Chain A
Amino acid sequence: SQTIHQWPATLVQPVGSPLSLECTVEGTSNPNLYWYRQAAGRGLQLLFYSVGIGQISSEVPQNLSASRPQDRQFILSSKKLLLSDSGFYLCAWSFTGVTEAFFGQGTRLTVV
């Protein structure tokens, strides 16, 4: 069966510090991968999605970036965090772009 791992579960970082969140999927090949952010009391905002290694589509311009160095690894990064980057970050995967998505448990990021 397929599983998705996302870490860390919680993170407190100072403004201006770098960020690296990692997500890995097991039990499938060539999944579609997604990064979402959910601000407190708000809906999920799609940040990046990827249909293959090295293929990243960005939905919202901001100071975040994503990379897919391996088939089942998706990384969300920032060189300098802003207060507004605080939120609940969720990684997800799907078999293709038209099937349901399965989520990791999320990372709750607080920028102080």
Chain B
Amino acid sequence: RKEVEQDPGPFNVPEGATVAFNCTYSNSASQSFFWYRQDCRKEPKLLMSVYSSGNEDGRFTAQLNRASQYISLLIRDSKLSDSATYLCVVNMGGTGGFKTIFGAGTRLFVKA
């Protein structure tokens, strides 16, 4: 089982749609969680951290369910500029200390 698993996608949605991405992780001792965005042929950049209480940043809402080991990202009122790959990220313990593990990513295409 992969340490971090995401919906494979791609998601093709019209502008203005609401889209949700899901992610599960295998290590129950994982400490922190993030969503990153990666544009084509670029490095990933932090979109938002994910907190147990849930958190919102404009049109983006992230949620964490530790009991189910599940993370989600909701994008409301999608824009063309939201087209990108969204990566679920988990920090978990390893032999050499905590390590940052990325999911394979879910591609989002927002169409006019």
Residues of A within 8 A of B (CB): 32, 34, 36, 42-44, 46, 49-51, 55-57, 59, 88, 90, 92, 94, 96-106, 108
Contact = CB atoms under 8 A, between A and B. Distances in A.
A44 B102 contact: yes
A43 B32 contact: no
Contacts of B98: 32, 96-98
A30 to B, nearest CB: 12
Contacts of A108: 41
Given A44-B44, A90-B43, A103-B45, A97 B105 contact: no
Chain A binding surface, main DSSP class: strand
B102 A46 contact: yes
A44 B34 contact: no
B43 A105 contact: yes
Interface residues of B, number: 26
Contacts of B102: 36, 43-44, 46
A57 B96 contact: yes
A59 B102 CA distance: 13
Nearest to A108: B41
Contact of A46 (B41, B44, B99, B105): B99
User: Which 7 residue pairs of A and B lie closest in terms of their CB atoms, listed nearest first?
Assistant: A97-B98, A57-B96, A43-B104, A103-B43, A51-B97, A44-B102, A98-B31
A42 to B, nearest CB: 7
Contact of B43 (A43, A56, A94, A106): A106
B75 interface: no
B54 to A, nearest CB: 18
Nearest to A34: B100
Nearest to B93: A97
A97 B94 CA distance: 10
Nearest to B34: A100
Given A43-B102, A43-B104, A46-B102, A100 B96 contact: no
